[in-house]
Amino acid sequence: MEKRRVAILISGRGSNMTALIEAAKAEDFPAGIVLVISNIAGAGGLTKAAESGIETATIESKPFGKDREAFERKLHETLVAHNIELVCLAGFLRLLTPWFVTRWDGRMLNIHPALLPSYRGLHTHERALADGVKIHGATVHFVVPEMDSGPIIMQGAVAVLDGDTPETLAARVLGVEHRIYPDALRLVAGGGTRIENGQCKTEASGSPDDTLISPAII
């Protein structure tokens, strides 16, 4: 099976990156992680990727200052030089301009720690707790120029508990992130998604037990 060549872009510890790398080790996984790029020197994820035998690169965004496109041109050139077919943003904390995003249209995925379109942007867990929502979660979506928008590929939800803090909620959501990001990449890389009227349709089906009620009355 010919595997899609994937690059992961990170800025930090890279736990989603690690989940993708682990999943991609399966023989039947339709994508191979061939490159990890960080825009922050010394990001924790770089060491982990290197330990897995994956090529890493650091392209620091800071020296480019406000010249976002110059940074992105370098990023783009590096991806093209490695024959990358799909890009996964995994805790990549740098806004990308339309120049870059349109070049990777339909070929770039992001994971966001909220059930989009709720809680775009930062501090998603704090804001969900402040609103008192009972269900929260994470979303994998295709990247479009508007931040945290774009066709939704997959979402996973967790119950919000009365005693939750941003930290406990973040940890529970992160567990879901590590499940849905590999599954979403499997779908996309395997050709199991298509865009119709700006929405992502998939060949996956709902599970028979797909109701989450929170809080549950026992």
Query: Cβ of 173: how many Cβ atoms within 10 Å?
Result: 23
- Does 177 interact with ligand GAR (rule: CB under 6 A)? yes
Three-class secondary structure of residue 92 per DSSP: coil
Q: What angle do CA 173, 10, 74 make, to 5 degrees?
A: 150
The residue from 118, 174, 179, 183 that contacts ligand GAR (CB under 6 A) is 174
Is residue 16 a contact point for ligand GAR (CB under 6 A)? yes
Q: Enumerate the β-bridge partners of residue 212.
A: none
Contact flag: residue 40 with ligand GAR (CB under 6 A): no
12 binds ligand GAR (CB under 6 A): yes
Going by the DSSP 8-state scheme, the letter that residue 26 receives in this structure is S
Name beta bridge partners: 156. Answer: 138
Report the nearest approach of ligand GAR to the CB of residue 208 (Å): 28
Distance, CA of 166 to CA of 163 (rounded, Å): 10
Instruction: Choose between 139 and 193: whose C-beta lies nearer to ligand GAR.
Output: 139
Q: Is 112 a catalytic residue?
A: yes
Choosing from 76, 82, 112, 125, the catalytic residue is: 112
Q: Of the listed pieces 13-21, 58-66, 97-105, 197-205, which binds ligand GAR according to CB under 6 A?
A: 13-21
**Which sequence positions are flagged as catalytic?**
112
